[in-house]
Amino acid sequence: MGIVQAQAIMSLDGYVAKQDNTIGRLFDWLQNGEVAIPTPAGDFTVHLAPGGTIARQCLDQGLLDEVAIDLVPVVMGAGNRPFFGELSSEDVLLGNPTVCVQGDRVTHLVFPVLRATGGR
């Protein structure tokens, strides 16, 4: 069975871009060597990258199964794009990470989206 996963590279304070829409130091880790990261098995996996409006809409509608974050140890202080932006729904609870892989200057995390009993 397939899943829908939103993925983004994010600062510790939750931004995927700076106020001037540049990425700052978010991608510095990409040349730091290879790290094996498990990906969802199956032919019907949908990846939404880089988060944003579509990911927020999927989360609001209860269509998102997982949230994948490449967490970079940098604090931007402000930005113009948080990972999901402002949700129109109540708080969305995520489960404990199913994947947690430490890289060089990045931590790769995957969280399942928890759904309330009886649908969401």
Q: Which of 15, 91, 11, 21 is nearest to 59 (CA)?
A: 91
Which pLDDT belongs to residue 119? Answer: 45
Mean pLDDT in each 10-residue stretch from start to end of the chain (120 residues)?
85 89 89 74 68 79 90 90 77 92 93 70
> What CATH number does the domain containing 28 carry?
3.40.430.10
For residue 117, tell me if it sits in a domain: no
What is the count of structural domains for the chain? 1
**What is the domain range of residue 15?**
4-34+44-112
For residue 107, tell me if it sits in a domain: yes
Which pLDDT belongs to residue 106? Answer: 94
Place of tokens 């939750």: 14
For residue 119, tell me if it sits in a domain: no
For residue 14, tell me if it sits in a domain: yes
State the pairing for strand pair 15-17/99-102. unpaired
Which pLDDT belongs to residue 32? Answer: 83
Q: Is 20 left (phi over 0), alpha (psi -120 to 50) or beta?
A: alpha
